[in-house]
Chains A and B, each alone.
Chain A
Amino acid sequence: MRNISEEVIGVIGAGSFGTAIANILSENDSKVLLYVRDPKRAKKTSRERISSGQKLGQNIEMTNDLKSIADRCEVIFPVIPSANFRDMISVISPYLHPYHVLIHGTKGFDFFISEREEINTENPLSREHIKTVSEVIKEETSVLRVGCMAGPNLAKELDARKPAATVIASHFDEVINIGQRLLKNDRFMIYGSKDLIGIELCGILKNIIAIGAGSISGIGLGENAKSLFISRGLVEMVYIGTALGGNLQAFLGLAGIGDLIATCTSKLSRNFTVGYRLAKGETLEEITTSMEEVAEGIKTVKIVKELAETYHIKAPITNVLYKILHNEMTIREAHTYLMNFPFRAEIDFIESEEDKTL
């Protein structure tokens, strides 16, 4: 049985963001159980008290047993790459109950196609095959009280105790309140949102734009060009995001514009770094093998490109990035192409949307 006198909070994934979350929880006087898949790493981290380059808070206990996370923690923060998410959740699923609360911090799509199915022109990639992480949780477990967190939260800055804020989105006030109670402190603000899918999409889609922004920095086109690119990127995010079920408001808030600015201007961002290094002449393979953690944006570009085709959404930036990542276009060619792309209509889109809501 769980012990109520001492609430233990679970964090699944000890990457840089997962560790940062665990540290904030620990600092706010919660007991934390931090999961890492590899037993050796669990031991090593436990001994050295350093995880993903960050010093571990004193209330954090390491584990490599998912069952014990489910058994001991009512509130769990899963923070692992999207590619591993479904596998992880199906392992822990039998131990999860409807009393659990899951607030995830994963910024990528789940991509699930059954073995019998084939994606082709007859059966194009659609929303059926692509799920956000909250949708995966609801599919694989009996947990309903699900939330996500997204916002400009570069792990290194959080670790350096610099001020920041995040958005916790859930259909349940209860989940937002729990997130606020556990994470809020003097330098970490928590906003709440009911648009779960919208906020998840913000976190996912901004990675595409970050890769592009990195490439602009890499070839040294300057701040004007990068700002132009980010603005256009936001419009593209809105186009795609609203088509996939998010609301415009989410994209104009902290998890949208806020996170977009952080990821598109900082070398601390992984996705930005991918673009930057591509522009410096490295190949995609060289970059991904040398990176410690996954840059979600690479997978997202491919998925969104196909989804945009299925749903006839204009996505010039995503298309161009897809070509760059697949060596069908050089970065210079891409930017020349985008400079000639008629973009006025895109910006109009947001204005007209705003007019409608006013």
Chain B
Amino acid sequence: MSRKKVRYSEVIPNKNDWPIVQLSRDRKSFIDDIVNQVYEAMVADKQGSLREEIEMTVHLEKLRTKSNPWKVDPADDRDFWKELQQRLVEVNLKDKVAVKKQERDILKEIIDRYANEIAGSFKKSSYRFAQKFVTFGFARLLNAARVKGLLALFSRQLDLDDKLHITGETEHLRKLTKMGTVVMVPTHFSNLDSILIGWVIQFLGLPPFIYGAGLNLFNIKILAYFMNSLGAYKVDRRKKNRIYLETLKTYSRVAIERGCHSLFFPGGTRSRSGEIESRLKLGLLQTTIQAQREIYQKAEANGEIKKVFIVPAVINYHFTLEAPALIRGFLKKTGRERYYVEADEFSTSYKISTFLFKFFSKGSDISVNIGRGMDILGNYVDDEGISNDKKGNIIDPRHYFMRGNEITFDKQRENEYVRVLGKRIIEEYHKYNRVFASHLTAFIAFKMLERKNPKLDLYDILRLPEDDLTLDYKEFKANFKKLRGKLEKLYKKGKVDMAAHMQQKAEQSIQVGLKNLGLYHDKQPLVRKGKKIIINDTNTLYYYHNRMNGYSLEKYI
């Protein structure tokens, strides 16, 4: 069966018109803008004393340079913070004017340093190169792996899009990028995600998006090169002080205000449990609402209004490279971001290359399902970018910020709004989640294991001895049929999506599922042996099973 290949033209053919190109051309004014805004906000904020804030920041930063330095840190990192600390001590505390001036000077220096560090250095020439390289390289790898023989390296028989299925509202997304500023919010399971989405964006002919990438990824030179050229800005999870976080959020907000399409992973880090995000980090998400409000406020003067569109995307793999490390971490309850160098399958260039090769050499699909665009409060927008409420009435998002016929700023109100938006995004994730046979087989196998051992808690089940880790295939198949039926009902109601291979005969779907589930792990979690299914790895099985949480399917097993 051959799929019809779709080729997308570039939405904005002249790259000089790309928002990101304009942004990098105005880099200096952009950064000055950020520095000033953060500075004003920090000075105006009456919570606690400014001096304490600065002293705390300097102290923590000095500690960090000592206890947890990274390769990417600038050479003068230690000296910079040391010098600031020195200056803070030297000032004559009785001279109020001098103290105040010093505080403000230092604050500005810190913000300036942070803003420059965060800002990506997008170059349109290397964007082209990196983009070509990714596409070309992927395609070559794919052909080399699939079509035997070295000559195949030059074959154009297969493309990346044979492997990667982009489904959902792609045309709609293309239209939205022309009309307003798009903030794409994908689910996050693997470090591969940002590269994948980067590829999807260029495949769909969209102008580049900016996105925040963990600074740790910049430790790897080759990744750093690509990410710099693809519009990434840097997010350092070691820095948790308010000045840094404020600068980061302002960066994101001002970029959106300036019309830069952005990419957030609102779950924060990769899902440790394998579950679809059920709680989002609202900090960055909030910048979309703030940006939209600012756009409306400023528009009253000059008239131009750009709408901010939120577009969810759900990425589905049959397997996640990092699954064993992630689930181990989750089970140890160390899943939270910590102060450490991440040591998992993505820690070296070598591991990434072997993974990519494995990925292309074996038949395993990835799907990226693009959701419908929403406004900043989660109302669907149509192809013209107009918001509709649940009843289909046209609404103007500007009205969400109105009080007494004018746009007002109310921090608490916007805190509440971001909760509403977060909830809507999670609803959309479940809706656009494309169920793969592998997810469902994992779910059923794990639930059957639980039912067989009703008295055991999760940790006991994960530690069951080998002898207890077999399931009856016939029963398994019956459960598969039953649950697939339930999923089809949900699918018809528009509450979930299903991959094409789920529509085959149960026997075949199960086969696809078993074959692909955790394909590249040392131990494949599930193996069929005649009339039995053997569970090889309960941890990863649990991880993949979690993917199907949130649909209340467990009551049917």
Contact = CB atoms under 8 A, between A and B. Distances in A.
B412 A142 contact: no
Interface stretch (A90-98, A317-325, A335-343, A346-354): A90-98
Nearest to B417: A144
Interface stretch (B164-172, B201-209, B244-252, B385-393): B385-393
Nearest to A3: B405
Interface in B389-418: 389-391, 393, 395-397, 399-400, 402-405, 410, 412-413, 416-417
B540 interface: no
Contacts of B405: 2, 4, 74
B417 A97 contact: no
Nearest to A140: B391
B400 A144 contact: yes
Interface residues on B, range: 20 to 34
B404 A7 contact: yes
Contact of B395 (A4, A74, A98): A98
B377 interface: yes
Contacts of A140: 390-391
B413 A139 contact: no
B12 interface: no
A116 to B, nearest CB: 12
Contacts of B316: none
Of the candidates A94, A142, A171, the one having the most CB atoms from chain B within 10 angstroms of its own CB is A142
A94 B393 contact: yes
Given A144-B377, A172-B412, A173-B412, A98 B397 contact: yes
B539 interface: no
Contacts of B390: 139-140, 142
B91 interface: no
B379 interface: yes
A74 B408 CA distance: 15
Interface string B370-389: 00000001010000000001
Contact of A171 (B389, B396, B403, B416): B416
The interface residues of chain A, by DSSP majority, are classed as: loop
A148 to B, nearest CB: 16
Interface in B433-481: none
B98 interface: no
B416 A97 contact: no
A142 B389 contact: yes
B56 interface: no
Interface string A60-79: 00000000000000100000
B403 A174 contact: yes
Contacts of B400: 98-99, 144
B305 interface: no
Given A99-B402, A139-B390, A174 B412 contact: yes
B420 interface: yes
A141 interface: yes
Contact of B403 (A93, A94, A99, A141): A99
B122 to A, nearest CB: 36
Contacts of A99: 399-400, 402-403
B423 to A, nearest CB: 11
A74 B406 CA distance: 12
A4 B393 contact: no
A56 B405 CA distance: 29
A266 B410 CA distance: 41
B300 to A, nearest CB: 15
Contacts of B413: 145, 172-174
A73 to B, nearest CB: 12
A172 B411 CA distance: 10
A138 to B, nearest CB: 9
Interface string B206-226: 000000000000000000000
A93 B391 contact: yes
A268 B58 CA distance: 65
A171 B412 CA distance: 9
A255 B389 CA distance: 32
Contacts of B399: 97-99
B410 A174 contact: yes
A173 B417 CA distance: 12
Contact of A141 (B389, B402, B417): B389
Nearest to B416: A171
Interface in A272-309: none
A142 B395 contact: yes
A173 B408 CA distance: 14
B393 A142 contact: yes
Contacts of B410: 173-174
Contacts of B377: 98, 144
Contact of A97 (B379, B395, B403, B404): B395
Contact of A74 (B393, B404, B417, B420): B404
A140 B392 CA distance: 11
Contacts of B417: 144
A7 B412 CA distance: 24
Contacts of A173: 410, 412-413
Which of B397, B405, B417 has the most chain A CB atoms closer than 10 A to its own CB?
B405
A24 to B, nearest CB: 21
B396 A97 contact: yes
Nearest to A139: B390
A353 to B, nearest CB: 26
A142 B410 CA distance: 19
Nearest to A96: B393
A4 B408 CA distance: 15
A102 to B, nearest CB: 14
A144 B420 contact: yes
B126 to A, nearest CB: 43
Contacts of B416: 144, 171-172
Contacts of A139: 390
Interface in B342-390: 377, 379, 389-390
Given A93-B391, A142-B395, 5 more contacts: A74-B404, A98-B395, A140-B390, A141-B391, A145-B413
24 contacts: A7-B404, A74-B404, A94-B391, A94-B393, A97-B395, A97-B396, A98-B397, A98-B399, A98-B400, A98-B402, A99-B399, A99-B402, A141-B389, A142-B379, A142-B390, A142-B393, A144-B377, A144-B400, A144-B420, A172-B416, A173-B410, A173-B412, A174-B412, A174-B413
Interface of B: 377, 379, 389-391, 393, 395-397, 399-400, 402-405, 410, 412-413, 416-417, 420
Closest 9 CB pairs of A and B: A99-B402, A142-B389, A98-B399, A99-B399, A98-B400, A4-B405, A173-B412, A97-B399, A142-B395
